Amino acid sequence: MSFNNLGLSEPLLRAIKEQGYTEPTPVQKQAIPVILSGKDILAGAQTGTGKTAGFTLPMLQLLSEHKKAGKKQKVSVLILTPTRELAAQVAESVEVYGKYLPFKSTVIFGGVKINPQIVALRKGVDIIIATPGRLLDHVGQKTVDLSGVDFLILDEADRMLDMGFINDIRKILAILPKERQNLLFSATFSNEIKKLTDTLLKSPALIEVARRNTSSEQVTQVVYSVDRERKRELLSKLISEGEWKQILVFTRTKHGANRLSEQLTKDGIHSAAIHGNKSQNARTKALAQFKQGEVRVLVATDIAARGIDIDQLPHVVNYELPNVPEDYVHRIGRTGRAGSNGEAISLVCVDELELLANIEKLIKKEIHRRVIKGFEPDPSIKPEPIQKKKGQQQRGRGRSHQQPKRGTKTSVLGPSGGDNTSRPRKPRANSSSGRGR
Ligand code: AMP
C-alpha cells in the first residue's frame, strides 16, 4: 500500500514525498483511513512507529475539508503532549506535513515566556500543540479561545497520566465543545488510561500496532546477568569490543548517571549525563553532541530522556532496570525506530530479578539471558533491596508536569525539563504569572 491509496490530498502527498517516505508505517495504514472517516480512535502505538504522521496527516486533511466548508477562523485542533520537547517535535511535524496547506499552528508550553505565545494566539491559529499546564495558564488569563476545538489529540496519554496531569486534562476537557473527534495515543494501557478513554472516547476504533503492552518488534532484547559491582566494567567491554557508536544508557538516579558517565569517560569512552539537576544549556549541548557523534554514550534518567527523538538509535542500555515496568517499554522505544533495528541491553544483577519478572509479565515475553565469560554472577551474592526514589510509590499522584528552569530556550533538541519525580506540584495560585510554567 502506498500513501496514494489513503485518501490524502495532493498538498499532503507532496509534503510526504519530500520527507522521502515511500510507504506508510503500520500505524499510519490503520489510523489514517479511520481518522478520515471521522471516528474516535484509541491507538496503542509507541514512539518510533510513525504515529505523529499517523494523526497529523489525516487531521490536516480533515481541517482542509472543513475550511473549504467555510468554518470560522477559530482554533480547531488541540494536540496535548506530556512534555515540551514532544510538543515541539509534534509542532515541527505539523509544520512539515502542512507545508503546502494554509493553516497556522503554534506551540504552547511552560519554561519560556508567556508573552510571545499570547502574541501568536492573538494573531489567530488553527492548530495548537500544548502541554496541559501552560495551556491552562492561557485559559486562566483568557488568552486562548478553545470554543471552536472540534478535534482533540492526546499524544502519549500514559505519560501524561504518569506525570500527574489527569486533573489538568479533565479541566481542559471540561471547556472544550462536546461535539468533537478524539484521538488518544498511548504506548501502554493502565487502568487509569482505560478510565480516561471511557469518559473521553465515543465508540472508538481500536488500533494496535505493537501488541498491547509489548515492546517494539524491531528491538532485539537481551539481558546480561552480571554482579552489581561489575556492571560498569561489563558495559565498557561491550561498548569497546562491540564497537558500539551511539549508546543511550539509563540509570535509576541522577547521581548514578553522573557517576557512570564519569567512569566511562575515565575508561576512554566519551560520555555525558543528562538529568534534571543539569542546566537546560548543559542538557541541550550534551544531546546535540550525542546526536552528532561527538559524545558516544549519553547516560540519562527516565524523565530526562523523555522526548529524545533520535532516528535509528542503535543501542539502548538499561544499566539498571526501572522500578516501574512501563518505563522499560518507554526506554527501549528509543531504539528500533520506524524501519530500523535496534538492540536493547539490560544489565541485571541479583537485586533486580523481581523487576525483570515484572517487565517480562508486562511485555508477555521472556527476554533472552546471556552471561559473558569472565562476568559470571557470583552465586554467593545475596540480593539487596533496591532503593526507591522518594515519591516513587506515589507515582502519578500529585506530580507536576515539567517545570523547566527559568530562562531556558525553546528547543526541539532539549531533553525534558526536569527530573521532578519527587517534586510536588506548585499550587496554581503561585504560578499564574507563568513563572516556571
Ligand atoms: P514517531 O513515531 O511519530 O515519533 O516517528 C518516528 C520517526 O519515523 C520520525 O522520525 C518520522 O520522521 C519517521 N517516519 C514517520 N513516518 C514514516 C514513514 N512512512 N516512512 C519512514 N519514516 C517515517
Ligand 1, atom nearest to 3 Cα: 19
User: Which is higher by pLDDT, 139 or 343?
Assistant: 139
Query: Does the residue 383 lie in any domain?
Result: no
Compute the distance from residue 47 Cα to the ligand 1 centre, in Å.
9
Please check whether residue 331 is in contact with residue 318, taking contact to mean a CB–CB distance below 8 angstroms: yes
pLDDT of residue 97: 97
Q: What angle do CA 227, 229, 233 make, to 5 degrees?
A: 95
Structure confidence by residue, pLDDT tens digits, 52-101: 999 999 999 999 998 765 555 799 999 999 988 889 889 999 999 999 99
Exposed e or buried b per residue across 319-333, where buried means at least 16 C-beta atoms within 10 angstroms of its C-beta: bbbbbbbbbbbbbbb
Q: What is the CATH number of the domain that holds 358?
A: 3.40.50.300
Ligand 1 pocket check for 21: Cβ under 6 Å: yes
The letter for the amino acid at 102 is: P
The verdict on 289 and 190 lying in the same domain is: no
Query: Does the residue 253 lie in any domain?
Result: yes
Residue nearest to ligand 1 atom 16, measured at CA: 50
Which DSSP category does 347 fall into?
E
Ligand 1 pocket check for 48: Cβ under 6 Å: yes
Query: Does the residue 260 lie in any domain?
Result: yes
Structure confidence by residue, pLDDT tens digits, 382-428: 998 876 644 443 333 333 333 333 332 222 222 233 333 333 333 33
Question: Cell 508477555, residue?
Answer: 364
Please check whether residue 369 is in contact with residue 337, taking contact to mean a CB–CB distance below 8 angstroms: no
pLDDT of residue 191: 83
User: Which is higher by pLDDT, 142 or 291?
Assistant: 142
Ligand 1 pocket check for 52: Cβ under 6 Å: yes
Query: Does the residue 182 lie in any domain?
Result: yes
Percent of the chain at pLDDT above 70? 81
The verdict on 258 and 277 lying in the same domain is: yes
pLDDT of residue 71: 53
Compute the distance from residue 340 Cα to the ligand 1 centre, in Å.
11
Compute the distance from residue 1 Cα to the ligand 1 centre, in Å.
16
Per the prediction, the chain carries an average pLDDT of 83
The verdict on 156 and 251 lying in the same domain is: no
The verdict on 70 and 117 lying in the same domain is: yes
Ligand 1 pocket check for 18: Cβ under 6 Å: no
Within 8 A by CB and 6+ apart from 125, the residues are: 75, 104, 105, 106
Percent of the chain at pLDDT above 90? 59
Q: For the ranges 44-58, 323-337, 411-425, which has the lowest average pLDDT?
A: 411-425
The verdict on 208 and 235 lying in the same domain is: no
Residue nearest to ligand 1 atom 9, measured at CA: 50
pLDDT band at residue 435 under the 50/70/90 scheme? very low
Compute the distance from residue 143 Cα to the ligand 1 centre, in Å.
33
The verdict on 242 and 301 lying in the same domain is: yes
The verdict on 237 and 156 lying in the same domain is: no
Question: Cell 548514578, residue?
Answer: 256
The verdict on 268 and 156 lying in the same domain is: no
Question: Cell 510513525, residue?
Answer: 50
Instruction: Report how many domains make up the chain.
Output: 2
Q: For the ranges 45-49, 179-183, 304-308, which has the lowest average pLDDT?
A: 304-308
**H/E element, 316:** strand 315-318
User: Which is higher by pLDDT, 211 or 196?
Assistant: 196
Q: How far apart are the C-alpha atoms of 339 and 365, rounded to whole Å?
A: 22
Mean pLDDT of 107-118: 93
The verdict on 143 and 237 lying in the same domain is: no
Compute the distance from residue 48 Cα to the ligand 1 centre, in Å.
6
Query: Does the residue 343 lie in any domain?
Result: yes
Compute the distance from residue 88 Cα to the ligand 1 centre, in Å.
15
Residue nearest to ligand 1 atom 11, measured at CA: 50
Coil, strand, or helix at residue 328? Answer: helix
The verdict on 141 and 99 lying in the same domain is: yes
Query: Does the residue 384 lie in any domain?
Result: no
Q: For the ranges 92-96, 309-313, 316-320, 321-325, which has the lowest average pLDDT?
A: 309-313
Query: Does the residue 38 lie in any domain?
Result: yes
Residue nearest to ligand 1 atom 12, measured at CA: 50
The verdict on 183 and 37 lying in the same domain is: yes
Compute the distance from residue 215 Cα to the ligand 1 centre, in Å.
17
Structure confidence by residue, pLDDT tens digits, 209-261: 754 334 555 678 999 999 999 999 999 999 999 999 899 999 999 999 999 99
Mean pLDDT of 15-40: 94
**With 80 as the cut, is the pLDDT of residue 311 above it?**
no
Coil, strand, or helix at residue 315? Answer: strand
Q: Of the spans 124-138, 321-335, 352-366, which averages the highest pLDDT?
A: 124-138
Report the predicted TM-score, pTM, of the whole model to 2 decimal places: 0.62
Ligand 1 pocket check for 232: Cβ under 6 Å: no
Compute the distance from residue 50 Cα to the ligand 1 centre, in Å.
4
Print the domain residue range for 189.
3-212+396-412
pLDDT of residue 32: 97
Ligand 1 pocket check for 24: Cβ under 6 Å: yes
% helix, strand, coil for the chain, step of 5 = 40, 15, 45
Tell me the H-state helices in 201-321.
231-242, 254-266, 280-292, 302-305
pLDDT of residue 233: 97
Q: Which residue in 120, 345, 397, 139 sits closest to 226, CA to CA?
A: 345
pLDDT of residue 123: 93
The verdict on 112 and 129 lying in the same domain is: yes
